Structure 1
Amino acid sequence: MPSLEDAPVELINRASERETLTGFLQAIRAGEGRALVLSGDAGLGKTALLNDMAAKARGFRVLRVSGMQSEMELAFAGLHQLCSPLSEQVEALPKPQQLALRTAFGLAEGPPPARFMVGMAVLSLLAEVSRERPLLCLADDLHWLDRASAQALGFVARRLGADPIGIVFGTRTPTDEVAGVRELRLDGLAAQHAHELLAAALTGPLDTRVRDQIVAETRGNPLALLELPRTMSREELAGGFGFPGTAPLSGRIEESFARQLDALPGDTRLLICLASAEPSGDAKLIWQAAGLLGISHVAARPAMESGLADFGQRISFRHPLLRRAAYRSATVEQRRAVHRALAESTDPVTDPDRRAWHRAQSTDGPDEEAAADLERSASRAQARGGPNAAAAFLEQAAALTVDSARRADHMLAAAQANLQAGSYDRALELLAIVRAEPLTELQSARADLLQGNIAFASGLGNDGPPLLLKAAKRLEPLDLDLARETYLNAWMASMFAGDLAIGGSLADVSQAARGLPVSAHPDEAELVLDALARVIVDGPAAAAPVLRRAVAAIVDASLTPDEVLRWGWFAHAAAVGSWDFANWRFLLERELKVLRTVGAFDLMPIVLAALGTVTTWSGEFAASAAMFAEAETVCEVTGAPAAIFGPTMLACLRGDEEKAVPLIHSMIADAEVTGQGMSITYANWVAAVLYNGLGRYGEALTAAVASSESSSDLFIALWSLPELVEAATRTGAVGLAEEALARLAESTSAGGTDVGLGLEARSRALLSGGDVAEQHYLEAIDRLGRTTLRPELGRAHLLYGEWLRRDNRRVDARHQLKIAHAMFADLGMRAFAERARRELLATGERVRQSAVKSESTFTAQETLIVRLASDGLTNSEIGAQLFLSARTVEWHLRNVFGKLGITSRRQLATALHQNGDLLDR
């Protein structure tokens, strides 16, 4: 029969793909960072192309990692394999990144590193290495790489900039971890080239019809063309394969490998099974385990002679599918035996997790000791920032646990780990499984809590509040502290859901929370919960003292980073509820600093959006645009949907109708789908600001009414009331204006801050006349002048000037309108500036229309980088904050320097003072 020679070294065809990969290498040599996903079915030649690429990467440093199916549950196993040759360069990284990487690899103890901090550490490490020469990283079998490693490498791939680094992933189907990375899809060889490969592999003649059938059934798959004929008899080759066309090709290839393995002696098959179960390829470990199984070195010869495996210094297989076939073709008893031998041979001190995993696979029934080992491995995985691995260990521990209560605890912990990892579907699957178990009341309540947290975390939608409220009520008699924390989460979930909440409204949550027992010495969490609940149940006046006490306690407390992260967001709500914008901003800035320090990037976008709101409201448009750019960067890195709250508000205050209106409509449409009622309230509020600025008071009134009535318990609804009063008085809807003022005054009087009282005074002036109106306008200007809200101060001057003109006091009106126009022009608030200009024209004053400051000519990222550089941050520090390498930051700065006409940082301060685009004054 025809026989196969060794697989040819030269690739058959693939000219187009090789040309693409050659161009990829050339771009890296030129100093560009590039990433690529090479995808295609098993056997299409991905590994061969990666090998070809490595051979052509002359002058490069080449690092490689291959995903191992049996290592998928070991957090950062693949990343450790890739980075282990770079251990000396780790010392050059910033200390937080060093710690994150060493903790992830189990080489140091510390808090669990955020997965994005690990990714940033890898980016910095690769950038450091690429300073010497271009770097090429090849990650084969991405679909079998542990998820923590895949996430880190996907993070790096999306952040490559001006560093000569290339990352190529080989995978059957692109995974979520590499979303956004350019893909090169492989198909089977064309018929001509498939015939050529088959002919090169066969030494004897082959019937033309059989050859065509083989090519057709393999669909030009190179590995299938090479491997399948190996096990075919002369009769089978004469008659074609005859395989069912519906069989998956990779399965048919594995079947071919399995038949080749069946031809080997028994000891050799067991040795190959042993090697397939330990993907590290550690020859010493495998031979030690082989000795326990009574296998001698002689057993390796048949496997090596047939070319199936290499038993050298590192044990490897001819193809990953061969490793899989070797493991799957063994009996269950053989697999347990090899895992038992590997567990006994693995050092419990240096590699306890791998030992625990092998031991778990060796059991044939419940094993409490093995489950306890897995539980400890889960704790270590969590400490390394590998929640996916922790979940896998805990699920396996549950399977080995006899006691139903402990089994349920393991499953609940696994669901929690999946929640932390963002694997919401798997977390829900585990909850469904655990609910079928006999649960204690506490376990059942924890399950409710988890389900609510999953619903809230997966979209801030409207199904989380009732679940969290139910969990909080069940926890009250079981764990009061956890119940309070759950009520706070329920309150926040209800705030986001607003009127779209399906049960569990703010009123429901607040009423239930007010029924909790009061501690003699309440901590910050209890104070904040009591304050927020009182606002909704008892009203602003009754809640005001408690709100102020809660805010003061949070502001003055020496909180740990963990406490800042746990209670910070709720403290913001308390500050906003009392119109205490100064402390609101302080709390946001403190939390953002902690988030950056600990690398909790998942929470950063929402904090940046909130801080951007108060910063925009202060008229610091360049600063807020930089914050929104940073939030977008974080969302791009984390894969979270980018919020458009801030950019929408910014466009509305600037009076940019063309940009603002689509954003408003998008916010409302998205909110209706996701159930985030707060977004609708916010969108209508800023729409009212936009239309009041444009002088289209009817549209402003419609938007303001919608905002004030939608989710009326929300603080944002109160923000829309000054807009409603202004629009209503301009359209003659005095009754609506008076009702809005009464609601506003109830809240602002209770808060007692200059922000709230200033907005109240300005609104009250619109509904007054004569000296009373003037006194209110002057009070508004005085109070708002003591705040940071320059746009609101400018609007007070504008409304006062409009009132003075209508009272025929033109000289006084010009003075107020000039102040307003100058402020709006300086801030870049085009619509309000134009409104002030028209009023000035009506007084007889001539004002040029082109006086308004235009938007920056710099990109948002350039603005952000320059602001950070002007604060004294180094390129490395800026890069760590923005997920860029230091070299990429340097590249952006050079672009900015060119636009500013300078050549170095020394000239930056002077240039910034001359250019108002980059820094707010």
Structure 2
Amino acid sequence: MTGHTTAASPCRIYGRTTELAAVAALSDQLRPRHGGALLLAAEPGLGRSALLTWAADEFTLGPVLRPRRLPGEPRPYDGMHALLCAAAESRGAAPPRAAFGTVRPAGLPELPELLRQYVPEDEPLLVCVDDAHLWDAPSRAVLGSAARRPDPARPIGLLLSVAEHRAADPEFAGLPVVRFGPLDDGAATALLRDLTSGGLDPSVRSELLSEAEGNPAVLTALAQRLTPDQLGGHRPLPRPLVDGGALWAVFGSRLAPLPPAARQLLLLVASAHEPDPDAAGADASLVLRAARKAGLDPAALDPAEAARLVHHDGDRIAFTGSLLRRTVYSGAPSSQRRAAHALLASVIDADGHRLRHLLHLALAAQGPDAALAAGLAEAAAPGTPTSGMERSAA
């Protein structure tokens, strides 16, 4: 494992050597009183918020501001108001009474000037903004302007965390960015060891590592869900190992904003992919035939593509990550999953693709079905001509 922890910080980071080095480099820029900025971009659950906390805890050159986003729908300049409240709080001063209004006044100063009234200029300042992509657009524009044009008279470091699919937004364009990938097995094992106090059976550990796919939030949810006897290998593990609720808690923020029709189509894509989860996506023609039969416009998938949840290359529709696909599938009620499989089965040529047709019927079944079981066994028998996907699914 490669990691970093100190006695002074309660926030331990597992792995992330590259990311830690980039944060350290930002601090080094501030030592000679030069400003700088860094964008931390990651899919949900990969630890960008934890790294932001670690950076704030470790910064010793001057004050750190960590504005808290206001609840509810953001209004213009709510983000700047939250930042000034954090600055005032850091000095024990009264917070500003109101935000700036709906339109930026022509004479509103840039970020360094706004902060000058609360934070003196005699030491470097680190501003840590988590989920900066959720700030209101005018506040994001002020942050982006300050990040791209540091004030030579005021050493401000801007450390911004954003969702991976928002790193290319215009406000953040051109900023240095560090993109998080999944944890490697060494770092994930170290995290599991700490979560379980070492009481983990090796075979259970292997299952947890495979199931979580290097996502520390999913790994944490798994460890918290299991009993000590299950973790120790003395009792069977639940199936599915990660339930829909745990996955939705991590990835639901990516899916919840979608229109209902887009979410229906995503469930069709995930259901079409379910018989062969290792395939490179779902059969696009099958999904679109099912969508049309259900009265769904294929264009309903556009918002999901725009949000970089799936990509459609003509022949296949694939999720950008298997954990997202699993969230869509397991997060839907079982009745909706069965209905999706029944719909897919109804548009498959039962003669030309018998096994695939029967597999979706089986996934739509509400209980044991002897005739369906016999049909599946016959269609999957050795020597039966099937595609590679269908053989692996059988």
Letter paired with 1:214: L
Q: CA deviation at 1:148?
A: 2.6
Letter paired with 2:216: P
Cα distance, 1:246–1:234 mapped onto 2, change above 3 Å: closer
What's 1:230 paired with? 224
What's 2:24 paired with? 22
What's 2:100 paired with? 105
Q: Does 1:171 align with 2:162?
A: yes
Match of 1:63 among 62, 65, 71: 65
TM-score between the two structures when normalised by the length of structure 2: 0.51
Letter paired with 1:124: E
SS state at 1:206 partner = coil
Cα deviation code 1:839-882 (max 9, x no counterpart)? xxxxxxxxxxxxxxxxxxxxxxxxxxxxxxxxxxxxxxxxxxxx
Distance, in Å, in 1 between the alignment partners of 2:10 and 2:86 is: 31
SS state at 2:148 partner = helix
Cα deviation code 1:508-553 (max 9, x no counterpart)? xxxxxxxxxxxxxxxxxxxxxxxxxxxxxxxxxxxxxxxxxxxxxx
What's 1:199 paired with? 193
Match of 2:127 among 120, 137, 140: 137
Q: CA deviation at 1:196?
A: 1.1
What's 2:204 paired with? 210
Distance, in Å, in 2 between the alignment partners of 1:27 and 1:47 is: 22
Q: CA deviation at 1:253?
A: 3.8
In the TM superposition, 1:588-627 aligns within 5 A as: none
Q: CA RMSD in A?
A: 3.7
In the TM superposition, 1:203-282 aligns within 5 A as: 203=197, 205-233=199-227, 238=233, 239=236, 242-243=239-240, 251=248, 253=250
What's 1:151 paired with? 141
Q: Does 1:121 align with 2:120?
A: no
Q: CA deviation at 1:158?
A: 1.6
Q: CA deviation at 1:192?
A: 0.9
Distance, in Å, in 1 between the alignment partners of 2:47 and 2:103 is: 38
Q: Which has the higher strand share?
A: 2
What's 1:715 paired with? none
Q: CA deviation at 1:204?
A: 5.7
Contact preservation (8 Å) 2:62, 2:125: yes
Letter paired with 1:166: G
Q: State the number of aligned residues.
A: 234
Distance, in Å, in 2 between the alignment partners of 1:194 and 1:61 is: 32
Distance, in Å, in 2 between the alignment partners of 1:112 and 1:103 is: 14
Contact preservation (8 Å) 1:71, 1:146: no
Letter paired with 1:154: G
Contact preservation (8 Å) 1:103, 1:113: no
Letter paired with 1:105: F
Contact preservation (8 Å) 1:138, 1:168: yes
Distance, in Å, in 2 between the alignment partners of 1:63 and 1:72 is: 22
SS state at 1:226 partner = helix
Q: CA deviation at 1:156?
A: 1.6
Distance, in Å, in 2 between the alignment partners of 1:204 and 1:243 is: 23
Q: Which has the higher helix share?
A: 1
Q: CA deviation at 1:166?
A: 0.5
SS state at 2:13 partner = coil
Contact preservation (8 Å) 2:65, 2:87: no
Contact preservation (8 Å) 1:130, 1:165: no
What's 1:32 paired with? 34
Letter paired with 1:205: G
Contact preservation (8 Å) 2:65, 2:127: yes
Contact preservation (8 Å) 2:81, 2:98: no
Letter paired with 2:100: F
What's 2:45 paired with? 43
Cα distance, 1:45–1:186 mapped onto 2, change above 3 Å: same
Distance, in Å, in 2 between the alignment partners of 1:250 and 1:130 is: 44
What's 1:185 paired with? 179
TM-score between the two structures when normalised by the length of structure 1: 0.23
Distance, in Å, in 1 between the alignment partners of 2:246 and 2:144 is: 28
Q: CA deviation at 1:81?
A: 1.3
Distance, in Å, in 1 between the alignment partners of 2:20 and 2:146 is: 24
Cα distance, 1:211–1:64 mapped onto 2, change above 3 Å: same
Cα deviation code 1:566-595 (max 9, x no counterpart)? xxxxxxxxxxxxxxxxxxxxxxxxxxxxxx
Cα deviation code 1:289-339 (max 9, x no counterpart)? xxxxxxxxxxxxxxxxxxxxxxxxxxxxxxxx8xx9xxxxxxxxxxxxxxx
Contact preservation (8 Å) 2:199, 2:228: no
SS state at 1:19 partner = helix
Contact preservation (8 Å) 1:194, 1:222: yes
SS state at 1:124 partner = helix
Contact preservation (8 Å) 2:66, 2:127: yes
Cα deviation code 1:2-23 (max 9, x no counterpart)? xxxxx97422232332122112
Cα distance, 1:241–1:33 mapped onto 2, change above 3 Å: farther
What's 2:74 paired with? 73
Distance, in Å, in 2 between the alignment partners of 1:242 and 1:8 is: 34
SS state at 1:75 partner = coil
Identity of paired residues, percent?
Answer: 28
Distance, in Å, in 2 between the alignment partners of 1:56 and 1:214 is: 31
Q: CA deviation at 1:146?
A: 2.5
The answer for unaligned runs of 5 or more in structure 1 is: 1-6, 89-100, 256-320, 325-424, 426-921
Cα distance, 1:243–1:154 mapped onto 2, change above 3 Å: farther
Distance, in Å, in 2 between the alignment partners of 1:251 and 1:194 is: 21
Letter paired with 1:52: W
In the TM superposition, 1:517-596 aligns within 5 A as: none
Cα deviation code 1:242-297 (max 9, x no counterpart)? 54999798525479xxxxxxxxxxxxxxxxxxxxxxxxxxxxxxxxxxxxxxxxxx
SS state at 1:184 partner = strand
Structure with bigger gyration radius = 1
Distance, in Å, in 2 between the alignment partners of 1:184 and 1:157 is: 15
What's 1:268 paired with? none
Contact preservation (8 Å) 1:218, 1:249: no
Q: CA deviation at 1:201?
A: 0.9
